Structure 1
Amino acid sequence: MRNYRMSLALLAVLFATLVAVEYYQPKPVDWRQSFANKDKIPYGTYVLYQLLPDLFRNQDITTVRQPILNHLEETPVRHTNYIFINDEFVLDSLDQQALLAHVARGNQVFIAAESFAEKFKDILHFDSHFTYTKSVKDRLGVYFVNPKRGKQRYYFEKRKSEGYFTLRKGAQVTALGRNSAGLLNFISIRFGKGVFYLNTVPAAFTNYYVLSPKHTRYAATALSYLPVQPVFWDEYQKQGGMGEQSVFRVLLAHPPLRWAYYITLVALVLYVLFEGKRTQRIIPILAPSTNETLAFVRVVGNLYFNNRNHKNIAEKKIRYFLEYLRLHFYESSPINDSEAQERIAARSGVAITEVNNLFYLLQKISNVPIITDEDLRQLNQQLEAFYNQTNR
Structure 2
Amino acid sequence: MNKSLKVYLILLFVLLIGVVVLESNKPKEINWNPTYSINDKIPYGLYVFDKEMPSLLKPDTLNTVNNTPYEYFDSLYDYDTLVNNYRTSGTFLAINHTGNFDDESLKELLYFASHGNTVFLSMKNVSEILKDSLNFEISSSFTSIDSTFHYLKSKNIENDKYNLSDGFGFSYFSKIDSLKTSVLGYQIYDDTLANFIKVPYKKGNFILHLQPSAFTNYNLLKESNYKYAEKVLSYIPKGNLFWYTKDISEGHISRNPLRFIFSQPALKTAWYLFIGGFVVFIIFNVKRKQRIIPIITPLENTTIEFTKTIGNLYYQEGNH
The superposition leaves residues 211-264 of structure 1 with CA deviations (integer Å, 9 ceiling, x where unpaired) of 122211111211121123333333333458458533244444443443344333
Map 1:95-244 → 2, pairs under 5 A: 95-132=105-142, 139-157=147-165, 159=167, 162-169=170-177, 172-180=180-188, 181-238=191-248, 241=251, 244=254
Cα 1:134/1:250, change in 2 over 3 Å:
closer
TM-fit CA distance, 1:37? 0.7
Question: Does the 8 Å CA contact 2:144/2:168 hold for their aligned counterparts?
Answer: no
Q: What amino acid is aligned across from residue 54 of structure 2 in structure 1?
A: P
Q: Mark the runs of 5 or more structure 1 residues left unpaired by the alignment.
A: 309-371, 375-392
- 1:23-55 per-residue CA deviation (whole Å, 9 max, x = no partner) reads 232211111111111011111111111001202
Matches of 2:290 and 2:213, distance apart in 1: 66
Query: Structure 2 matches for 1:287-302, cutoff 5 A?
Result: none
AA partner of residue 176 (structure 1): L
1:260-299 matches, within 5 Å, as 260-278=270-288, 280=289, 282-284=291-293
CA distance in 1, matches of 2:152, 2:51: 24
SS at match of 1:115: coil
Give deviations 1:275-319, integer Å, cap 9, x for gaps. 3333x45542888x99xxxx99999999999878xxxxxxxxxxx
Identity %: 26
Q: Which has the higher helix share?
A: 1
The offset of 1:198, in angstroms, is 0.9
Within 5 Å, which residues of 2 pair with 1:19-30?
19-30=20-31
Q: 1:79 to 1:143 in 2, by over 3 A?
A: same
Using CA pairs under 8 Å that are at least 6 residues apart, name the structure with larger relative contact order, 1 or 2: 2
Distance 1:243 1:162 in 2: 27
Aligned to 2:11: 10
**Cα distance, 1:10–1:33 mapped onto 2, change above 3 Å:** same
Q: Would you say 1:72 and 2:82 are equivalent positions?
A: no
The one-letter amino acid paired with 1:172 is: K
Aligned residue in 1 for 2:101: 91
Asked whether the 8 Å contact 2:196–2:210 carries over to 1, the reply is: yes
Write out the 4+ residue segments of structure 1 that deviate beyond 6 Å after TM superposition: 295-308
* Matched residue SS, 1:232: strand
CA drift of 1:131 comes to 1.6
Q: 1:126 to 1:265 in 2, by over 3 A?
A: farther
- Give per-residue Cα distances to partners, 1:72-102, cap 9 Å, x unaligned: 3445562232222222112322221222222
| Cα RMSD for the two superposed structures | 3.6
Answer yes or no: is the 8 Å Cα contact 1:160–1:201 preserved in 2.
no
Larger radius of gyration: 1
Q: Which amino acid aligns with 2:101?
A: L
Cα gap change, 1:133 to 1:11, in 2 (>3 Å): closer
Unaligned runs of 5+ in 2: 78-86
The code of the aligned residue for 1:90 comes to N
Please give the TM-score of this superposition, normalised by the length of structure 2: 0.80
The structure richer in strand per residue is 2
Give the secondary structure class of the aligned counterpart of 2:30.
Answer: coil
Q: Deviations over 1:312-348 (max 9, x none)?
A: xxxxxxxxxxxxxxxxxxxxxxxxxxxxxxxxxxxxx
In 1: Cα distance, 2:183 partner to 2:302 partner: 116
Secondary structure of 2:230 counterpart? helix
Q: How has the CA–CA distance of structure 1 residues 200 and 257 changed in structure 2, closer, same or farther, with 3 Å as cutoff?
A: farther
Residue identity in the other structure for 2:30 = V
Residue 149 of structure 1: SS of its match in structure 2?
coil
What's 2:256 paired with?
A: 246
The change in CA–CA distance for 1:103 and 1:58 in structure 2 (over 3 A counts) is: closer
Give the stretch that moved more between structures: 14-23 or 203-212: 14-23
Cα shift at 1:59: 4.1
Distance in 2 between the 1:99 and 1:251 partners?
39
Aligned length: 308
Whether the aligned pair in 2 keeps the contact of 1:109 and 1:197 (CA below 8 Å) is yes
When structure 1 is superposed on structure 2, of 260-269 and 90-99 the one drifting more is 260-269
**Whole-angstrom distance in 1 between the partners of 2:63 and 2:18:** 43
Distance 2:250 2:35 in 1: 12
